[in-house]
Chains A and B, each alone.
Chain A
Amino acid sequence: MTRAHNPQLNKNGELRHLLTPEGLPRDVLTHILDTAQGFVSFGSREVKKVPLLRGKSVFNLFFENSTRTRTTFEIAAQRLSADVFNLDIQRSSTSKGESLLDTIANLEAMDADVFVVRHSDSGAPFLIAQHTPPHVHIVNAGDGRHAHPTQGLLDMYTIRHFKGDFSNLTVAIVGDIVHSRVARSAIHALTTLGAAEVRAVGPKTLAPDNLRDMGVRVCHDMAEGIRGADVIMMLRLQNERMSGALLPSAHEFNMTYGLTPERLALAKPDVIVMHPGPINRGVEIDSAVADGPRSVILDQVRFGIAVRMAVLSIVASTESPA
Chain B
Amino acid sequence: MPSSPASPIAAPPDAEVLYARLLAQVRSTVAAQAEPPLLIGIYSGGAWLAQRLHADLQLAQPYGVVSSTFHRDDFATRGLHPSANRTALPVPIADQAVLLIDDVLHTGRTIRAAMNELFDFGRPARIDLAVLVDRGGRELPICPQIAASTLLDLPDEVSLALLRDEDVSEGIRFRFDLVSK
Contact = CB atoms under 8 A, between A and B. Distances in A.
Given A51-B71, A317-B75, A41 B120 contact: no
A313 B80 contact: yes
B176 interface: no
Contacts of B78: 317
Contacts of B149: none
B82 A51 contact: no
A52 B82 contact: no
Interface string B62-84: 00000101110001111110111
Interface size class of A (residues with CB under 8 A): 20 to 34
Given A313-B80, A317-B75, A38 B122 contact: no
B86 to A, nearest CB: 5
B119 A314 contact: no
Interface string A279-322: 00000000000000000000000000000001001100111000
Given A46-B122, A50-B70, A317 B82 contact: no
Contacts of A50: 70-71, 120
Interface stretch (A29-37, A62-70, A141-149, A170-178): A29-37
Contact of B69 (A38, A314, A319): A38
Given A46-B120, A50-B70, A50-B120, A314 B86 contact: no
Q: Is the interface of B mostly helix, strand, loop or mixed?
A: loop
Interface string B127-159: 000000000000000000000000000000000
Interface in B90-124: 116, 119-122
Contacts of B44: none
A54 B61 CA distance: 36
26 contacts: A14-B79, A34-B82, A37-B82, A37-B83, A38-B86, A41-B86, A44-B121, A45-B121, A46-B120, A46-B121, A46-B122, A47-B120, A49-B120, A50-B71, A51-B71, A51-B116, A52-B70, A52-B75, A310-B82, A313-B80, A314-B79, A317-B75, A317-B78, A317-B79, A317-B80, A319-B77
Given A37-B86, A46-B121, 10 more contacts: A34-B82, A38-B67, A47-B119, A52-B75, A310-B82, A314-B79, A314-B80, A317-B77, A317-B78, A317-B80
Interface of A: 14, 31, 34-35, 37-38, 41, 44-47, 49-52, 310, 313-314, 317-319
